[in-house]
Amino acid sequence: MNGKNILLAVSGGIAVYKAVALTSKLTQAGANVKVMMTKSAQEFVPPLSFQVLSRNDVYTDTFDEKDSGVVAHINLADWADLVIVAPATANVIGKMANGIADDMVTTTLLATEAPIWVAPAMNVHMIAHPAVVRNINQLYADGVRFIEPSEGYLACGYVGRGRLEEPERIVGHLTAYFTEKNTTLAGRKVVITAGATIEKLDPVRYFTNHSTGKMGFAVAETAARYGAEVVLVTSSTKLPVPHGVAVHYIETAQEMYDEVMKHQDSADIFVMSAAVADYTPKVIHEHKIKKQPGDFAIEMVRTKDILAEIGQNKRDTQVVIGFAAETQNVKENALKKLHSKNADMIVANNVAQIGAGFGVDTNQVTFYGHDDAETVFPLLSKQEVAREIIEQAARFLEEK
């Protein structure tokens, strides 16, 4: 971070107080920080707080030209090595996604060619609203990167996802961005499965599980940042697609199998993080099954084992990584899967453990690899777990 020019765009939410701390942390890390604020942000914290900590002027008005020799918003846009919007409200995300430039912040964001990062902070229901999800998806497609909000107690009184990530973690993400080598997997192809499968019974009923796909999407984003060609096979349509990732949407286990098999010969790395149904109804009814007196039994048949198929038929130069989501006997079940599927590594976790199950932004995993080697990790964000997975996959490739 030493000597990097960081432009911090602050929009109006109670999390502005964390942006003050973020300014301090970035400055302490050696970055040159300049801050621009929306009118709403100034209702929470005065510009003077940012000016003192950054030791730079704070920009609040497109028409307030502090230096007559330059146009302020163009000068800032050209100066920045990276722009981060923190906190990013639903309002500013919507403006960014639709190219609206009606204040200093949004005008500068349109003018910059620097990487743009967004750290959302808003109510748990707002961040899940279809309009907000749609806008985030659009920004992902435009190349904007996101720092996922954490879960916890929100200022509005709700408990859930929507808290601005802690300043220390944001600085960590930015530091990693400036130091990481993005060519580690250049020229390599990575195929990732994510989320649950959906096994239909009739037009209104289906079997599925609680997997949201967050872990697989994090792996896909990381692989793309490491320079790989990334193919993501998933049923999760509500998560934003990471920049540079080719996504193929499926529903059933059979559809996932068919899509993955298309890449059996061409992929270098397979990361099978999806929670694939083991069984599917033998008969899919054309019409809704009506309620009848007495019990009702459904005959189920086994689905194809995608991980086993890939593992048993892999070339010596291919890497196959599977997942084991368990509720008991984690090590025993993970090692059994490692050998029976002929995988290079199994990422195991106890989904009954707080912070490590489905739908949350964290995970606590153990890697089981060659010679039954065991690597235990503490509770990490799913982005951090994804980084460990991709780095280990890259090491396997180098060894092979």
Q: Is residue 164 domain-shared with residue 195, that is, in the same domain?
A: no
pTM for this predicted structure:
0.64
CATH number at residue 14: 3.40.50.1950
Q: Do the strands 116-120 and 82-88 form a parallel or antiparallel pair, or are they unpaired?
A: parallel
Q: Is residue 230 domain-shared with residue 286, that is, in the same domain?
A: yes
Q: Which of 179, 214, 246 is the last residue of a domain?
A: 179
Q: What are phi and psi of 148, to 5 degrees?
A: -60, 135
Tokens standing for residue 200? 């239909």
Q: Is 262 annotated as a binding residue?
A: no
In a domain, residue 290? The reply is: yes
By 3-state DSSP, what share of the chain in percent is helix, strand and coil, each rounded to 5? 35, 25, 40
Is-contact 114 7, C-beta < 8 A? yes
CATH number at residue 320: 3.40.50.10300
Q: Is residue 209 domain-shared with residue 295, that is, in the same domain?
A: yes
In a domain, residue 229? The reply is: yes
Q: How far apart are CA 253 and CA 235, in angstroms?
A: 10
Give CA separation, 306 vs 252, 257, 317, in Å.
12, 6, 19
Q: What single letter denotes the amino acid at residue 97?
A: A
Cα dihedral: 204, 208, 209, 214 (round 10): -100
Q: Is residue 210 domain-shared with residue 165, that is, in the same domain?
A: no
Q: Which of 151, 179, 207 is the last residue of a domain?
A: 179
Q: Which of 121, 155, 179 is the last residue of a domain?
A: 179
Q: Report CA Rg, the chain.
A: 23
User: What one-character DSSP code corresponds to residue 370?
Assistant: G
Cα angle 237, 194, 358 (rounded to 5 degrees) comes to 90
Number of domains making up the chain? 2
Tokens standing for residue 2? 């030493």
Q: Is 288 annotated as a binding residue?
A: yes
Q: Is residue 174 domain-shared with residue 57, that is, in the same domain?
A: yes
Q: Is residue 167 domain-shared with residue 204, that is, in the same domain?
A: no
The candidate with the shortest Cα–Cα distance to 230, out of 190, 203, 195, is 190
Q: Which helix (H) or strand (E) element contains residue 104?
A: helix 104-111
Q: Is 278 annotated as a binding residue?
A: yes
**Burial annotation 188-209 (CB, 10 A radius, 16+ → b, else e):** bbbbbbbbbbbbbbeeeebbeb
Q: Is residue 138 domain-shared with residue 230, that is, in the same domain?
A: no
Tokens standing for residue 391? 């780095």
Q: Is residue 173 domain-shared with residue 242, that is, in the same domain?
A: no
Q: How far apart are CA 32 and CA 161, in angstroms?
A: 31
In a domain, residue 184? The reply is: no
Peptide bond into 240 cis (omega under 30): no
**Is the Cα torsion angle 255, 257, 258, 262 positive or negative in sign?**
positive
Catalytic one of 131, 156, 186, 246: 156
Q: How far apart are CA 223 and CA 244, in angstroms?
A: 10
Q: What are phi and psi of 363, to 5 degrees?
A: -160, 150
Q: Is 337 annotated as a binding residue?
A: yes
What pLDDT tens digit does each residue of the chain (400 aa) get? 888 999 999 999 889 999 999 999 999 989 999 999 999 999 999 999 999 999 999 999 988 887 777 888 899 999 999 999 999 999 999 999 999 999 999 999 999 999 999 999 998 888 889 999 999 989 888 888 888 886 665 666 666 666 788 898 899 888 878 875 568 899 999 999 999 999 999 999 999 999 999 999 999 989 998 999 999 999 999 887 887 899 999 999 999 999 999 999 999 999 999 999 999 999 999 999 999 999 999 999 999 999 999 999 999 999 999 999 999 999 999 999 999 999 999 999 998 888 777 877 788 999 999 889 999 998 888 888 999 999 999 999 999 8
Domain hosting residue 129, numbered range: 5-179
Is 156 marked active-site? yes
In a domain, residue 350? The reply is: yes
Q: Is residue 257 domain-shared with residue 372, that is, in the same domain?
A: yes
Q: Is residue 168 domain-shared with residue 205, that is, in the same domain?
A: no
